[in-house]
């Protein structure tokens, strides 16, 4: 059932049937369904589990006292929120949904048990954690150095590749279920400017965005226009030395 998550981990290494079963049963333990714009975790909480997004989109965000909000990470199906975060006393940020969503709560104990018994999974979770950190760094670059259109184009490239990594694209097309206000909070821009920047990208033929449907006619062109290089996503099967060798050949 956590097929997007499994698919993502297999970008790093091939899992054995036993690995997959272990993850499936862990994810089956406790499942929740929530509406759009709901908090899953609030700032100040102390949670003892990890959340895995199964369907829908969510985000990690921080809010300033005066109401300004910054989305610091977007979560799409297959994304794991806050691995190991429970070493810290309390959450310094919140996690909320952008769309209706379902997610699995995996307890720390369950995750620890799996990691102990399945070293390949442990490595893959490590990889996932490090890639998340790398994405966070790239967002810092994005906000610090890129112009509005580069910034937005960069985000769309990243999301497209991440969605493709979990099997949620078709050809050069994917969904973009966020509102323009969500994009604004993620990019540190006003909604008005997001709107105009999207129009610029459309006018330049770099994207086709109708409603929640995004098409990127020429990904290489969008990447070039956004100074995007995919290396920071580390989608290069770098854990192949750990690949499971199944006993049964085809």
Neighbours of 122 (CB within 10 A): 15
Nearest to 233 by CA among 117, 125, 137: 137
Residue 60 contact among a copy of itself, DNA, none, beta carbon within 5 to 8 Å by kind:
a copy of itself
- How far apart are CB 139 and DNA at their closest, in Å? 16
Could you say which residues in the range 23-82 bind a copy of itself, by CB under 8 A? 60, 62, 64-66, 68-70, 72-73
- Count of residues engaged in binding a copy of itself, rule: CB under 8 A: 45
Question: Taking CB under 7 A as the rule, does residue 213 contact DNA?
Answer: no
**Piece of 86-94, 166-174, 175-183, 213-221 that binds a copy of itself (CB under 8 A):** 86-94
Burial class of residue 178 in the structure, from the number of CB atoms within 10 Å of its CB (0-12 exposed, 13-18 middle, 19+ buried)? buried
Q: Which of 24, 34, 50 is nearest to 128 (CA)?
A: 50
Nearest to 58 by CA among 27, 29, 91, 100: 100
**Contact positions toward a copy of itself, by CB under 8 A?**
60, 62, 64-66, 68-70, 72-73, 84-85, 87-90, 92-93, 123, 126-127, 130-131, 133-134, 136-141, 143-146, 186-188, 227, 231-232, 234, 236, 238-239
């Amino acid at each position: 059932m956590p097929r997007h998550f499994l698919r993502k981990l297999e970008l790093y290494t091939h899992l054995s049937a036993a690995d997959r079963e272990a993850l499936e049963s862990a994810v089956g333990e406790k499942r929740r369904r929530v509406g759009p714009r709901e908090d899953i975790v609030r700032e100040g909480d102390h949670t003892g589990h990890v959340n895995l997004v199964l369907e829908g989109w969510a985000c990690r965000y921080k809010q300033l006292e005066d109401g300004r909000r910054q989305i610091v990470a977007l979560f799409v199906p297959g994304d794991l929120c806050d691995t190991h975060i429970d070493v810290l006393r309390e959450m310094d940020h919140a996690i909320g949904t952008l769309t209706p969503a379902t997610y699995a709560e995996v307890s720390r104990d369950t995750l620890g048990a799996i990691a102990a018994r399945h070293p390949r999974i442990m490595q893959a979770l490590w990889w996932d954690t490090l890639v998340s950190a790398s994405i966070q760094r790239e967002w810092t670059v994005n906000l610090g150095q890129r112009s509005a259109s580069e910034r937005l184009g960069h985000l769309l490239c990243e999301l497209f590749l991440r969605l493709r990594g979990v099997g949620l694209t078709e050809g050069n097309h994917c969904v973009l279920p966020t509102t323009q206000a969500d994009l604004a909070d993620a990019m540190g821009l006003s909604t008005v400017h997001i709107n105009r920047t999207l129009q610029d990208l459309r006018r330049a033929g770099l994207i086709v965005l109708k409603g929640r449907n995004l098409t990127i006619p020429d990904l290489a062109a969008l990447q070039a226009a956004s100074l995007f290089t995919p290396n920071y996503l580390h989608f290069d099967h770098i854990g192949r030395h750990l690949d499971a060798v199944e006993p049964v050949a085809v």
